[in-house]
Structure 1
Amino acid sequence: MENKTEESIIVTIDDTEGNSRDFVQDMVIPFDGKEFAVLVSIPESMDSEEEPDIILARIDKDQDGEVVYVSPTDEEYDAVAEIYNAM
């Protein structure tokens, strides 16, 4: 039996004030022919006790075929959040 380990996908998100924060892609949820990533914030220090932030992002591809994470529409967000919460 072969033991495969998946590499974590780290995504850096810039907030509206230009601050960057790293998130790990926890899971991908398919919906309406698209894929949506559940991104969980990575604590800034190992002994941090703050609750992680969770973001839903639609996974698209840019003109070069590179993966980009974009904000879902309100309808997409509501539907994918409902699927995630039911898990």
Structure 2
Amino acid sequence: MTDKKEEPVCVVITSPEGVESEYAQDTVIPFGGKQFAVLVEVLDEKDGDKEPDILLARIDIGENGEPEYVPPSDEEYDAVADIYNAM
């Protein structure tokens, strides 16, 4: 039997200032009938010892059937962050 590694899901997030950063989906947490992704910033060598940013995003399905990563409400964020921290 061979071990098959899944390719990580990568997402490009654009900051309010227009700066794009790449994030890898670490885990997906179901909550309230919705899916929430924990996204970890992908760093390269030029970032040195910088700690990666971690984001929490709700996964909505867009009109074209593709997942869209959107900011959760404050209530969703607090509840899902508690679930993640308890993992």
**TM superposition score normalised by structure 1:** 0.93
Name 1:76's counterpart in structure 2: 76
Partner of 1:6, secondary structure, is: coil
Give the Cα–Cα distance (whole angstroms) in 2 for the partners of residues 47 and 80 of structure 1: 29
Residues 47 and 68 of structure 1, relative CA distance in 2, 3 Å threshold: closer
Aligned to 1:61: 61
Deviation of residue 2 (structure 1)?
3.5
**Is 1:20–2:20 an aligned residue pair?**
yes
- What amino acid maps onto 1:24 in structure 2? A
Aligned in 2, Cα 1:65/1:47: closer, same or farther, shift over 3 Å? Answer: closer
The code of the aligned residue for 1:72 comes to: P
AA matched with 1:39: L
RMSD of equivalent CA atoms: 1.3
Which position in structure 2 is the counterpart of 1:45?
45
Counterpart of 1:44, as a letter, is D
| CA distance in structure 1 between the partners assigned to 2:5 and 2:74 by the alignment | 34
Identity of aligned residues (%): 56
Q: Which runs of 4+ in 1 moved over 6 A?
A: none
Tell me the TM-score normalised to structure 2 length. Answer: 0.93
Mean Cα deviation higher: 76-85 or 1-10: 1-10
Match of 2:10 in 1: 10
Task: Give the total of aligned pairs.
Answer: 87
- Counterpart secondary structure, 1:29: strand
